Structure 1
Amino acid sequence: MKRKIKRELIEWIVLIVVCGVIYLAGWHTAIIGRIQKVVLSTGIIQPNVVNDEKSASYDFLLEDLNGEKIPFDVFKGEVVFINFWATWCPPCIAEMPDINKLYNDKKDKVRFAMISLDQDETKAKDYLAKKDFQFPVYFLRSPLPRSYNTHAIPTTYVLDKDGIIKVENHGMAKYNTENFKQLLNELSKSK
């Protein structure tokens, strides 16, 4: 009996040490992100299509990776995919490869605005350089209007050409699906 308790205690200590090393080394975000990426690959987590007519605001300022200030109203009249993310957010990391594939497929019909909420912008830039994503990334340079409820990240919105929010998704989702691409195609054709 004492031997069993001793073995169990050793197993718990090893588990705690391994978890501590993973956390202290900063690997936890990547590991959790990979696990969540596997969950996303199943396609069971889909974005939420909004049924009510909620208008988006274009009254805020962004800055691109080159330091150029861009008023968000330059996106008016276009279908826009907006994603709020951060490097410290495992679900954000999990969905970004999928969003990059969607961007490469739909960049001619849809404008993408991947908005980093990282406090340390150098971390975001280093992460993006390492991953070689092609989608455009921005940083906020003004307060975000109330029409964007980003209390959780990742948060994703899709705006139609009239500035109506058609997709509002809090949390990760799989966007590079035939159904979602069809929605983007329909929104691109309207007007």
Structure 2
Amino acid sequence: MKRNIIYVVVLAIVAAVFLIPGLKDTLKEQFLPVATIENAVHIAPEDYDVDLKGINVPSTNLKNFKDKIVFLNFWGTWCPPCIKEWPSIQNLYDSKKDKIDFVLIAMKDEEEKVRNFLKENNYNVPVYIAQSPISEKILPKAFPTTFLLDKEGRILLKEDAYKDWNSESSLQFINTIVK
């Protein structure tokens, strides 16, 4: 009898996870950060060697962000989901720029279009255009693609779609990293 009750409860929980919108993501975000950090893929030092032409900041090399927490985003002015997530990235930058380095790399884009986009929208998140090849380990296959890297070069988060970076779950995850 007890065993049947346990099976019914477990089945109900599993069903709820798949049937209640957002519950699966909430549970995943609550219970996966520690596991994600422990099992994260590392970016090798040579993967950081990408020359970056600054659009609204000085030019640099991605290796200058090694040993730092980095919000690394690949986007384009031609990409509707990229444009859609920009306001949340700007808000995240405004609230976390003292704890996280932001590197947004415009891909398959013209410098003038990028400059105009930033100016028209009053965005000041650091934007670059890559001037040398990007490692296959971080080269995006879809846009936008965002990596959250820790100081050891571990990929703590890879998001290859639009994301609201100001959602409660996103901010909770980021706050666990920047403590």
TM-score range, shorter chain: 0.7 to 0.9
1:179 aligned partner, one-letter code: S
How far is 1:99 from its partner?
Answer: 0.7
1:177 deviates by: 2.1
Greater mean deviation of Cα atoms: 43-52 or 117-126: 43-52
Alignment of 1:1-191 (within 5 A): 51=36, 52-56=39-43, 57-65=47-55, 68-189=58-179
In 2, are the aligned partners of 1:55 and 1:147 still within 8 Å (CA)? no
Please state whether the residue corresponding to 2:159 is helix, strand or coil. Answer: strand
How far apart in 1 are the matches of 2:41 and 2:52? Answer: 22
Query: Which deviations, in whole Å up to 9, do the C-alpha atoms of 1:60-87 show, x marking residues without a partner?
Result: 1111115843111111111100111111
Secondary structure class of the residue paired with 2:136:
coil
Change (3 A) 1:128 1:66: closer
Cα shift readout 1:137-166 (whole Å, capped 9, x = no counterpart):
111011101211401100000001111000
Which amino acid in the other structure matches residue 111 of structure 2? E
Q: What is the CA deviation profile of residues 5-25 of structure 1, one whole-angstrom value per residue up to 9, with x for unaligned ones?
A: xxxxxxxxxxxxxxxxxxxxx
Contact 1:60 1:72 in 2 (8 A): yes
> Secondary structure, in 3 states, of the residue corresponding to 1:73?
helix
Output the TM-score relative to the length of structure 1. Answer: 0.69
Larger Rg: 1
Q: 8 Å contact 1:104–1:134 — kept in the other structure?
A: no
**Structure 2: runs of 5 or more not aligned:** 1-21
1:62 and 1:108 mapped to 2: Cα distance?
21
Q: Which amino acid aligns with 1:176?
A: N
Which residue of structure 2 lines up, in the alignment, with residue 5 of structure 1?
A: none
| Partner residue in 2 for 1:7 | none
3-state DSSP of counterpart to 2:40: strand
Equivalents in 2 of 1:66, 1:95: separation in Å? 19
**Contact 1:77-1:161 at 8 Å conserved across structures:** yes
Contact 1:86/1:116 (8 A) holds in 2: yes
Provide the C-alpha distance between the structure 2 equivalents of 1:173 and 1:95, rounded to a whole number of angstroms: 6
Letter in 2 for 1:159: L
Q: How many residues align?
A: 147
Q: Percent identity?
A: 35
